[in-house]
Amino acid sequence: MNPTIPQKNPYAVEVQAGESYYWCSCGQSKSQPFCDGSHKPTDFKPVAFTAEKTETVYLCGCKHSVNGAFCDGSHKSL
């Protein structure tokens, strides 16, 4: 099963040092790029990460990144 592609570019998100986040890997969340539990009827699971510092990060919007939650440019080939 392939993930739904909510958008073909990354989400620029401000994260706070020490905070935990759950990135949506299925693409079905209404709270993109974060998980809202929409994956439950699928085999997808959210990807947890903790921000090392307060900064803007670029989270994958196409759900095909080999870097998990973080954009690696995979959207350019879709």
User: Structure pTM?
Assistant: 0.94
Q: Is the pLDDT of residue 4 over 90?
A: yes
Instruction: DSSP for the chain, please give it.
Output: -PPP-S-SSPEEEEE-TT-EEEE-SSS--TTTTB--STTTTSS---EEEE-SSSEEEEE-SSS--TTTTB--SGGGG-
pLDDT tens for 43-70 read 999 999 999 999 999 999 999 999 999 9
Q: How far apart are CA 22 and CA 33, in angstroms?
A: 9
Domain boundaries, the chain: 1-70
